[in-house]
Amino acid sequence: QLQLVESGGGLVQAGGSLRLSCAASGRTFIVYKMGWFRQAPRKEREFVAAIRWSGGSAWYADSVKGRFTISRDNAKNTVDLQMNMLKPEDTAVYYCAAGTSWSSDYDYWGQGTQVTVSS
């Protein structure tokens, strides 16, 4: 099994920054990609960013490009999401997820961490 635990959420004013971290444990050797998703109240979960576990490629939703940066540390088995220039519309529960191949769904999910951006 693979376990994912997020940390780093909180309350921040608009324009501020937060850094989320996702720690992976267990069968980390099966991971091909890691992603961050978010779900705001009364909205569907949406993709935020993803990165190949081996490094090199990263993808972002248009809504966060230029403001958020995803990175990974294979030695520590962590994936971080640096969020800058936060907006109230970034308020959501943020989830870390892992997939075992490029084309597969994200099969493993963390419990989520709340990010609240005040105006």
pLDDT in tens, 70-82: 999 988 999 999 9
Provide the pLDDT for residue 50.
96
Residue in 53, 52, 70, 71 with CA at minimum distance from that of residue 61: 70
As a whole number, mean pLDDT of residues 56-80 equals 94
Distance CA(112)–CA(97), nearest Å, equals 10
β-bridge mates for residue 24, sequence order? 4
DSSP state string for 19-40: EEEEEEEESGGG--EEEEEEE-
Provide the pLDDT for residue 66.
97
As a whole number, mean pLDDT of residues 30-44 equals 95
Confidence band (pLDDT; 50, 70, 90) for 102? confident
* CA-CA-CA-CA dihedral for 101, 30, 74, 104, to nearest 10: 20
Distance CA(115)–CA(119), nearest Å, equals 13
Q: Residue count of the chain, please give it.
A: 119
